[in-house]
Structure 1
């Protein structure tokens, strides 16, 4: 596999993850109007609340995903998601 192919796959992976992240968040229940009842997100929130004595911890995974679902990804989160997608895309291209 050539270096150009790996770079192209990494770029495609980075772009795809940035576009897919909000769609995936919505699909699992972290929506722009809050957590959807009966969803994976609701189950995660329930588990977190039980583990924390009745409340969801600020800064925890559920709170972070709820924030991203309601307000969108921050610049830092977009960069992290893009970087992870780029690495995965590059690795897949290198292995194939």
Structure 2
């Protein structure tokens, strides 16, 4: 027999878990990189990114840049829209992977 054509409960669970993991993982990853509520942690990946951005911009980090955006996300809680986008993206990736199993 071949693969079933519908979505079983295991595949649906995979998609849901993928969305939840994406929402929960982002704050942990940002913190691990050095983007925290207290600011950028010295000698971290975030500090190296900030240094490179400042050098490229003549001494300052541009508003709206990747470093500024990541620090903003690291310093504050994720908004509802950000959580929705992350959850949707995580679910879509999990659904793509689940197609093969």
The yes-or-no answer on 1:75 pairing with 2:80 is yes
Q: CA RMSD in A?
A: 1.3
Give the 5 Å matches for 1:1-96: 2-4=6-8, 5-96=10-101
TM-superposed deviation, 1:3: 1.3
TM-superposed deviation, 1:8: 2.1
Larger relative helix fraction = 1
TM-superposed deviation, 1:6: 3.1
Deviations 1:46-88 (A, max 9, x none): 1111111111111111111101101121222111111111111
Higher relative contact order (CA 8 A, sep 6+): 1
TM-superposed deviation, 1:43: 0.7
Distance 1:32 1:94 in 2: 38
Compare 47-56 and 4-13 and name the one that shifted more.
Answer: 4-13
**Which residues of structure 1 form unaligned runs of 5+?**
none
Larger Rg: 2
> Aligned residue pairs: how many?
96
